[in-house]
Amino acid sequence: MHQVVVTGIGIVSPLGTSVEEFCRRMFAAESGLVDIRNGFVGPNFPVPAAGRVPDERLVAPEALQRLGHKNSLKSHIFAAMATEEALQALPRDTPVDAIAYGTTDGISFDLIKSSFRKFDPATFDWDATRAETTLELLRDMVALHGNGHIEDQDLFTLNNACVSSNQAIGLALQRIRSGMWRRAIVGGVDARCTDENIMNFHMLGALSVANVPAAEASRPFSKSRCGFVRGEGAGTLILESLEEAQARGAKILGKISGYAASSDAFRLTDGRTDAKAAIHAMAGAIADARLDTQQIDAVSAHGTSTQMNDRLETMALKQVFGPQAYRMPVVALKSQIGHATVAAGALQAIATLRMLSDQRLAPTINYKDIDPECDLDYVPNQSRPAQLNAILSNSFGFGGQNACVVFQRYAS
């Protein structure tokens, strides 16, 4: 069985459009959330804040133009920017076998609606509503970069809501472990911070509508939390077998050692009230990594800032880790960038890898008041140094989907 390592990463997020900018601001306890009533939506829009990537920060990679791709879709630009940054770590003539990526292609109802409003059989862009377009774009970028051709059957589009990126990582982990693949590009993209999409989540009662500064709107695990803040972004990781990485002298950013997924099919927007399936996914990922719970040094929490998620995740952590849960740091990245749903796990993965390499915990900002039911160490408001060898990264999605990944520090 092959060990699996990460050798390249790239990111687009509300905290920055490069890994270095993102991590600098993350460790500095900054927020990427903004007031969207200042021009993006009207002053009476019911949701005041979102984690939007500023339009002026979006620079379509030259590869999109060279490939002749239509790049009007923001999701394409997000994914291309993140992947272009990750590919800088991969030399030419180093083949990529597959892509597994969480996307929202093919299910963006606002895009489909706007497309058919201007429907003209002679000029209509049918690709705008296909589910494969982002991965085909990334495949062409890989080829242009000199990393070979990826066959159609090795392009995996995943959309299981908030767990999509972690499932993409888990799929590649299993395939590379088994020897089926040597190297893969994984991650996720979600560029749906639109008024219609935000309104959809608002109608579910899931979003924060608190009359507070935007930077303080997402407050995971605080008693005063009142809903998540919609975010967006893209994260790309290059995964390969340890043997392949060592053979080419690659800089290894970390190991992926464990993965597990579960589904409870309980309700469209909620998980089980006993958190049984989330517990199963966390325990399964740790067992898959061949670690004991005592060897997990921190948790990168799903931490959405909703009343139910944070309470159930805390309860599940206590079940999995027992008394250790009270000594173990729990970090909630969504306090800084909001919830990028399909891309959330990829953004969290990059943050987790940097926590391991920098030996520093990111903060859970906006930790305002103590909830008696959420009584763990959430690394409140400031980052801090820590000895970190293994971190469990959680994603719990709509429909009762759960996917957890164990990342480890790599020591040569």
Partners of 237 in beta bridges: 9, 186
User: Residue 105: its pLDDT value, please?
Assistant: 75
Q: What is the pLDDT of residue 129?
A: 59
- Measured CA to CA, the distance from residue 305 to residue 207 in angstroms comes to 9
Q: At 278, is the secondary structure helix, strand, or coil?
A: helix
Helix pair angle (164-178, 344-358), 10° resolution: 60
pLDDT at position 303, please? 97
Supply the DSSP symbol for 387: -
Residue by residue, pLDDT tens for the chain (412 residues) are 899 999 999 999 999 999 999 999 999 999 999 999 978 899 999 999 999 999 889 888 888 777 776 556 788 999 999 999 999 999 999 999 999 999 987 555 555 566 556 556 666 565 555 668 899 999 999 999 999 999 999 999 998 889 999 999 999 999 999 999 999 999 999 998 999 899 999 998 999 999 999 999 999 999 999 999 999 999 999 999 999 999 999 999 999 999 999 988 776 667 778 889 999 999 999 999 999 999 999 999 999 999 999 999 999 999 999 999 999 999 999 999 999 999 999 999 999 999 999 999 999 999 999 999 999 999 999 999 999 999 999 999 877 789 999 999 998 7
Cα gap 71→68, rounded to integer Å: 9
pLDDT at 400: 79
What's the confidence (pLDDT) of residue 118?
Answer: 59
Angle between helices 276-288 and 307-321 (to 10 degrees): 50
- Sheet containing 298-300: order of strands: 155-158, 98-102, 183-190, 233-241, 4-12, 254-263, 401-408, 390-397, 298-300, 330-331
Alpha-carbon distance of 89 to 96, in angstroms, equals 13
The set of catalytic residues is 162, 302, 339
Residues 185 and 407: their CA atoms lie apart, in Å, by: 17
Residue showing tokens 């979102």:
50
H or E element, residue 193: none
Amino acid 411: pLDDT: 86
Q: Cα separation of 28 and 260, whole Å?
A: 32
For residue 225, give the nearest of 202, 204, 200, 206 by alpha carbon.
Answer: 206
- Which ranges in 68-216 belong to alpha helices (H)? 74-87, 109-117, 133-144, 164-178, 195-203
pLDDT for res 67: 79
Q: What is the C-alpha separation between 101 and 104, in angstroms, rounded?
A: 10
Q: What is the pTM of this model?
A: 0.94
